[in-house]
Amino acid sequence: MTSIFSPGGIAAGGVVGDVPVWAQLVDLFVAICFVLALKGLSGPKTARNGNMLGAAGALIAVVTLFFAHPGMKNLPLILGAMAIGIVVGYPAARRVQMTAMPQLVALFNGVGGGAAALVSVIEFLDAGMTESKGVLAATVFTVIVGSVSFTGSILTFLKLQEAITTRPILIPGGQYLTSLVGAAALVFAVWLVVTPAIWILVVLLVLSALLGLLLVMPVGGADVPIIISLLNAFTGLSVAASGYVLGNVLLIVAGTLVGASGTLLTKEMAKAMGRPLTNTMFGAFKAQTASAGTGGGEDRPVKSAGPEDVAIMLGYANKVIIVPGYGLAVAQAQHQIRELVDLLNERGIEVDYAIHPVAGRMPGHMNVLLAEANVPYEQLKEMDEINPEFSSTDVVMVVGANDVVNPAAKSDPSAPIYGMPILDVADAEQVVFLKRSMRPGFAGIENEILFDPKTTMLFGDAKESLTKVVTAVKAM
Amino acid sequence: MDSGVALLTIFILSIFVGFEVVSKVSTVLHTPLMSGANAIHGIVLVGAILVTGNADTTLPLVLGLIAIVLATINLVGGFAVTDRMLEMFKPKKAPKADSQEASK
């Protein structure tokens, strides 16, 4: 007889209950593929094959499904829906600009969470009243976490797309409202497990969707990557729980793998940014962020120069460090920067790239962009490796980066990025900033280093500026 | 073993495997790894197909088809975008390889 732990599954006349043994073995094989895929993705040489292996595993699992369940209903509609998914998902992934990649990942993650929540809802509609308490608990878990992931990811997508403000959205008493909605969701969750009813499920869905929005709203720009990673882990866990609801081992294994590895990854990212996870989620960037440093701005004197001046500074230096940032990526200037570095190398100048862990919008984002421009892997130096070298460097050229070199992270406890490790560019002899304007970075705070006497600004689009600098260096 | 307890066992063991496989990842690969993991949870497509294949009435059918569309986007798009990130790491012929060597 069923215990409280009895897994779900569409037993009577359904399609899940009677899975042939060979299909179960195929699922085991696919689960191994996923483990090896994650393992492969953790190393630079094996990453691509790892991803391929994961994709192959997923394909095998889906194809097997149709052969293992010959009595499946609605087959043409199912295939049609899959075709729509492919037509939407594949071109989006292929055509997206590499700079817009983080928000696409957020979006993919969100729809995955939504799918997991829907799966549990449907299974509840089908057999909810007769399921064991264990399955009902897994159902409410999937519904809550899947919905939070869905709305949270969509909001993250909108923030990264800059369709809405990247600053924290703070509503009065927001924290209390969030706690209240969270507590209410918990109450309805328990209620649903005790006395299953469809209306409670609907209320739970609405509350969870609201909770996802409330949780992500106060998250400031720089913390967004961490949130994507966290929501990714959430979706993994909700997929695992939906696997329990359906009695499907593959979903449990795959979902849990993602949940566990995603949690670890999130912790690593938070560490790289020097921000405890709880701060990211609840402290967020406080309201004074917006007003901090607005007394400064455009009217304070800065030293600006032309491309020729910058070319001379660079051309007669012995050691140059380049700090690439999101601005470089937006301007698609990675090829120009490489050309410049090659020219400097030919003049016998030592050049390295200093890569902040969260340069760009996500950890590793900048590495991907520079790899696209054939920048050799060895020239990319990570923060811990490069920081001691700034003091012996003649010129640091910061291209479209701001927050990752902002000394406020060290000196000003009230700054929202306080505690984030930064690149110590101020230790160098001279600093050149290539920026479009004096506008603050993604975190929305002023950078004192822009006003430092040793800093020179070269205003303009990174690509145009670099092209001019390259021409000027060639002419020397 | 109670089949529910068996699934619970699988769940717990998978947590350990999940922690273990990514324990030594370098920062450089954080983004592709997150994206790859993101694609893997698109396997919820299997669940979406199963519940839709069992749907008799309109509501579960419609919800199921939506779930299939969403899960397919997650799965296919996820692997495709991860591959695009990673194809940039593959060694290409660098025309100025000599100057790079000299810089080291």
Dump the DSSP string for A380-418.
EEEHHHHGGGGGG-SEEEEES--GGG-THHHH-TTSTTT
Query: For residue B11, what are the contacts with CB-CB under 8 A and spacing of at least 6?
Result: A240, A244, A252, A256
* pLDDT for res A288: 34
With a cut of 80, say whether residue B60 has pLDDT above it.
yes
Chain A: closest CA distance from residue B95 (Å): 10
With a cut of 70, say whether residue B87 has pLDDT above it.
yes
What pTM was estimated for this model as a whole? 0.77
* pLDDT for res A308: 86
Chain A residue numbers with beta carbons less than 8 Å from the beta carbon of B86 are: 47-48, 51
Of A331, A119, A67, A267, which Cα lies nearest the Cα of B65?
A119
Q: What is the ipTM, given to two decimal places?
A: 0.86
Tokens of A302: 């800065």
* pLDDT for res A35: 95
For residue A384, indicate whether it is catalytic.
no
A65: nearest CA in chain B? B46
Tokens of A358: 């969260």
Chain A residue numbers with beta carbons less than 8 Å from the beta carbon of B71 are: 85, 111-112, 115
Chain B: closest CA distance from residue A343 (Å): 9
For A320, phi then psi, to 5°, come to: -125, 140
* pLDDT for res A334: 82
Q: Which residues of chain A are modeled with pLDDT < 70?
A: 1-18, 128, 221-222, 272-300, 441-444
Chain A residue numbers with beta carbons less than 8 Å from the beta carbon of B3 are: 6-7, 247
Of A355, A403, A88, A163, which Cα lies nearest the Cα of B31?
A355
User: B30–A374: do the CB atoms touch at under 8 Å?
Assistant: no
Chain A contacts in chain B segment 12-41 (CB below 8 A): 14-19, 21-41
* The CATH number of the domain covering residues in A303-475: 3.40.50.1220
Catalytic residue (one of A299, A403, A452, A461)? A403
Amino acid residing at A367: N
* pLDDT for res A438: 76
* pLDDT for res A276: 66
Domain ranges of chain A: 69-285, 303-475
* pLDDT for res A274: 66
Longest CA–CA separation in chain A, Å: 86
Of A14, A93, A114, Cβ closest to residue B81: A93
Return the residue in A36, A42, A372 with the most chain B beta carbons within 10 A, the one to mutate for interface testing.
Answer: A42
User: A7–B7: do the CB atoms touch at under 8 Å?
Assistant: yes
